[in-house]
Amino acid sequence: MPVAQTFLGLGTNLGDRTAQLASALSALTDYGVVVARSHVYESAPMYVTDQPAFLNMCVQFDTDLAALALLATLKQIEQDCGRVQTFRNGPRAIDIDILAYDALIIDTPDLLVPHIGMAERAFVLAPLADIAPDWRNPRNGLRVIEMLDQLGSDGISLFGSLP
């Protein structure tokens, strides 16, 4: 299979958050190449607000895994990094979402790509703008920087970078 250019969003709000991100990044290298990575941003939780703040980042990840195989791999990496399923939008040791897979629109019961909630989440768009400001979302035709401009970046702040 040819190499697919993907964008992944990583988030964590439990334990040593920077170590969680670093562990997930390390695990990804067994399945492809991390071509670019964003700064790390801190954000207040959305939807379920009674939980710790999140650290979020995005990576460009090139892989030869098919989209559904990538999803299964990411779920396994999450488990290996200590994620325990609790409740929707609850706290987590690590969360890895497929934001984009090439320029494809994928609508299956298990996977919606580009990520359906991307345009309403500054904690996704700000780090994605670090590495792919001109990437165009095939669902709405907007570039990352345009979606971020429309949404604004309230509630997130630059945390730093991973070593």
Active-site pick, 97, 121, 130, 143: 97
CA distance 85 to 92: 8
What's the pLDDT at 155? 83
Domain of residue 101, CATH code: 3.30.70.560
What's the pLDDT at 86? 73
What's the pLDDT at 87? 58
Active-site pick, 83, 136, 139, 149: 83
Is there a catalytic annotation at residue 95? yes
Is there a catalytic annotation at residue 92? yes
Structural domain for 146, as ranges: 4-160
Q: Name beta bridge partners: 33.
A: 62
> Helices in the chain by DSSP H: which ranges?
17-28, 67-80, 122-131, 144-151
CA distance 150 to 10: 22
pLDDT in tens, 74-104: 999 998 887 767 757 678 889 999 999 999 9
Decide if pLDDT at 28 tops 80.
yes
Decide if pLDDT at 1 tops 70.
no
Is there a catalytic annotation at residue 143? no
Q: Which of 25-39, 65-79, 90-104 has the lowest mean pLDDT?
A: 90-104
Is there a catalytic annotation at residue 107? no
Identify the residue with better confidence: 58 or 83: 58
Percent of the chain predicted with pLDDT > 90 = 74
What's the pLDDT at 108? 94
Active-site pick, 92, 102, 107, 134: 92
Active-site pick, 37, 95, 121, 130: 95
Domain count, the chain: 1
Average the pLDDT over 52-57 and give the result: 94
Task: Answer for the pair 104, 136: CB distance below 8 angstroms, yes or no.
Answer: no
